[in-house]
Amino acid sequence: MTTRSVPKAKLLSDPLCCTPLTKAPLAVADAEDVAPVLAALGDPVRLRLLSIVAAEGEVCSCNLEEPLGKSQPTISHHTRVLANAGLIVGEKRGKWTWWRVVPERLATLRHVLGGS
């Protein structure tokens, strides 16, 4: 059996084919910038933690133990990973750290992934 090559132009104009997901492939620099962010979000605890901080606007580390069901050292580990990825920023107040989302980082992530 022989296979016949279909010209790329024909594939792109085929009405049965789906439209491209993005206008252009992800640039190397964008991929290198976003990969650590996606790796940080690949953990369900960190994803939930980020969603809690985003929903509240600002959250004290002491208020993350109960909703996440994790100890304070574990919370500290996960907040550090998210902070290193640039997704959250903390401000030390007394013995606790208060966390906020970095909106520009989320906007960059949305843009690179094809959102508006």
Q: Which of the two residues, 19 and 70, has the higher pLDDT score? A: 70
pLDDT at 110 over 90: no
**Is 83 contained in some domain?**
yes
**Is 81 contained in some domain?**
yes
pLDDT of residue 33: 87
**Is 105 contained in some domain?**
yes
Domain extent at residue 47: 28-112
For the chain, how far is it from start to end, CA to CA, in angstroms? 46
The DSSP secondary structure of the chain, one letter per residue, reads ----PPPHHHHHH-TTSPPPSSSSPPPHHHHHHHHHHHHHHTSHHHHHHHHHHHHHSSEEGGGTHHHHT--HHHHHHHHHHHHHTTSEEEEEETTEEEEEE-HHHHHHHHHHTT--
Q: Please indicate, yes or no, whether the overall pTM of this predicted structure exceeds 0.85.
A: no
Total domains in the chain come to 1
pLDDT averaged over the chain? 85
Average pLDDT, stretch 85-100? 96
**Is 99 contained in some domain?**
yes
At position 35, the amino acid (one-letter code) is: A
pLDDT of 23-51, one tens digit each?
677 789 888 988 999 999 999 999 999 99
Q: Could you tell me the CATH number of the domain that includes residue 88?
A: 1.10.10.10
